[in-house]
Amino acid sequence: MSKKIVQDLIGVWLLLTGCLIGGILINEMRSSPLSLVYSSPGSRLNQSVEQLGAKTTTPIALDGDVDRDEMLQISVNRVALILDARPEIFYRLGHIPSAMSLPRDDFEKQYQALRSTLQTYRDKSLVVYCSSSDCHDSQVVADALQKLGYPHVRLFRGGWSEWENASLPEEKE
C-alpha cells in the first residue's frame, strides 16, 4: 500500500472514532439517554414498572377477556376504567368512548399523569385494549398494571379494529 492510502485510512478511522465518542458523550448528557444495548419493549416497560414501585414481581392471572358486546356495555355504563394501550397518536385519531390513553411505549409518563385516576380504580375493573387481536401491547400494559398492584385487569383482545369494524361509537381528541 502506498503511504497516501495508509494516511487516508488512518484519517477515516480517526474521524469515525471521533464521531462515535462524540455521539456517546452527547447521548450521556441527555436527560434520558438512549440505551447503548437493545432491550425489547417488554423489558423497557418492566424497567419503568420497577421505577414506579411495582408491588409484585409476577403478574397474577387476568380476570378474563371482554368481548365486543360486553365492551360496549362497559363503555356506555362506565362500570370499568378503559385503557387504550396504543401509541398516543392513534388514541387521538379515535378511541372507545370514555377510554384513557396509557400507551405501552410511553407507559411511565402516562401512568404518572393518570395515577390519581388509576388509584380510584385499584379494586375495580380495568379493561385494556390495543389495535387488534394481533397486537400484544394490551397484554404488556395489563401485566405492568398487575405488577403495580391492580388485581382486576381484563383484556378486550379484539381491540380497536373489532370496535371500528362494528361501526360502534368513537371519540376523537
Residues 64 and 126 in one domain: yes
- pLDDT at position 62 is 63
Q: Where are the alpha helices (DSSP H) in 30-106?
A: 41-51, 68-77, 88-93
Judge whether 148 and 52 are in contact, CB under 8 Å. Answer: yes
Residues 85 and 97 in one domain: yes
pLDDT(97) > 80: yes
**What values do phi and psi take at 37, rounded to 5?**
-120, 130
- pLDDT at position 42 is 72
Q: Which three cell numbers mark 59?
A: 403478574
- pLDDT at position 55 is 60
How buried is 84 (Cβ within 10 angstroms: 0-12 exposed, 13-18 middle, 19+ buried)?
A: buried
DSSP E strand stretches across 15-118: 81-84, 100-101
Residue 29: CB partners within 8 Å, gap ≥ 6? none
Q: Is residue 132 part of a domain?
A: yes
Which of 62-66, 100-104, 142-146 is predicted least confidently?
62-66
- pLDDT at position 58 is 53
Provide the pLDDT confidence category of residue 60 given band limits of 50, 70 and 90: low
Q: Is residue 33 part of a domain?
A: yes
End-to-end, the C-alpha distance of the chain in Å comes to 64
* Torsion-angle region of 39 (φ positive above 0: left; ψ -120 to 50: alpha; else: beta): beta
Average pLDDT over residues 87-103: 97
Q: Is residue 172 part of a domain?
A: no
Query: What is the extent of the structural domain holding 29?
Result: 1-37
More confident residue, 112 or 61: 112
Tally of structural domains, the chain: 2
Q: What is the mean pLDDT of the chain?
A: 89
pLDDT tens digit sequence for 17-56: 999 999 999 989 988 788 788 777 777 777 777 777 766 5
d(CA 68, CA 53): 33
Residues 8 and 77 in one domain: no
